[in-house]
Structure 1
């Protein structure tokens, strides 16, 4: 089952802070409930997320285009073991009030070594809305994490 998800969020934090937090992949498991672990694989990153029971979603992605702090394109790394092929991009625009407008396109499809697991994953995704739901929830958590961090930094600056 192929999926395509487009997300748009406005985050109450400066663009540079959003860019830095997005690329701090190793911290994702601390604020994203579905992300179990993130590790480095050469110049790419391996993500492991809670997926269709009993199988986790695993993808290894690398940047294909990077224009800090406004644009990042990414895709799965060919030949590296994973069960979710992905591609997409992230665009960040700073609004006049200091809010960051985030747009994300995330496309992909799960694939497993077993045709039976592929069929089970398709069924589970059609019934429960994975991985689209996972992506939406994760980026709502990203927004909440950033806004909380930005408010806390603003308070500590105001107190000094």
Structure 2
């Protein structure tokens, strides 16, 4: 099951802070409840997240284009074991009040070594909305984490 998710968030924190926090992948398990672990694999990062029971979602991705602190394009690393192919981009722009407007687009599809697991994953995703739901919840937690660090708690999340 292929998915495409577009998220737009307005975060009450400076753009440079949001940029640094987004790229601090090793800290993600401390604030993102679904992310179990993140580790370095060469120039890429390996993420392990709670997925469709009994299998976790695992993806290994690296930046393919970076324009600090406003744009990052990423994609899965070919040939590295994982069960979630992804690609996408992140764009950050400053808001008039000193906050950050975040736009994120992620496309992908889970794949498993077993055709039975592939079918089970498709069924689970159609019933429970994974991994789209996982992405939205994770970035709501990202926003909360940053705003708590900066003393702001208003939420404004939308999906396009």
| TM-score clears 0.5 | yes
Give the structure 1 partner of residue 13 of structure 2: 13
Instruction: Tell me which of the two structures has the higher relative contact order, counting C-alpha pairs closer than 8 angstroms and 6 or more residues apart.
Output: 2
TM-score scaled to structure 2, two decimals? 0.94
Give the structure 1 partner of residue 32 of structure 2: 32
Give the structure 2 partner of residue 141 of structure 1: 141
Q: Deviations over 1:64-113 (max 9, x none)?
A: 00000000000000000000000000000001110100000000000000
Give the structure 1 partner of residue 124 of structure 2: 124
Q: What is the rounded CA distance, in whole Å, between the counterparts of 1:63 and 1:53 in structure 2?
A: 29
Stretches of structure 1 lacking an aligned partner (at least 5 in a row): 153-160
TM-score scaled to structure 1, two decimals? 0.94
Q: What is the rounded CA distance, in whole Å, between the counterparts of 1:62 and 1:27 in structure 2?
A: 17
Q: What is the rounded CA distance, in whole Å, between the counterparts of 2:56 and 2:151 in structure 1?
A: 34
CA RMSD after TM alignment: 0.8
Q: What is the rounded CA distance, in whole Å, between the counterparts of 1:33 and 1:106 in structure 2?
A: 19
Number of aligned residues:
152
Give the structure 1 partner of residue 101 of structure 2: 101
Instruction: Return the structure number with greater helix share.
Output: 1
Give the structure 1 partner of residue 56 of structure 2: 56
Q: Deviations over 1:23-59 (max 9, x none)?
A: 0000000000000000000000000000000000000
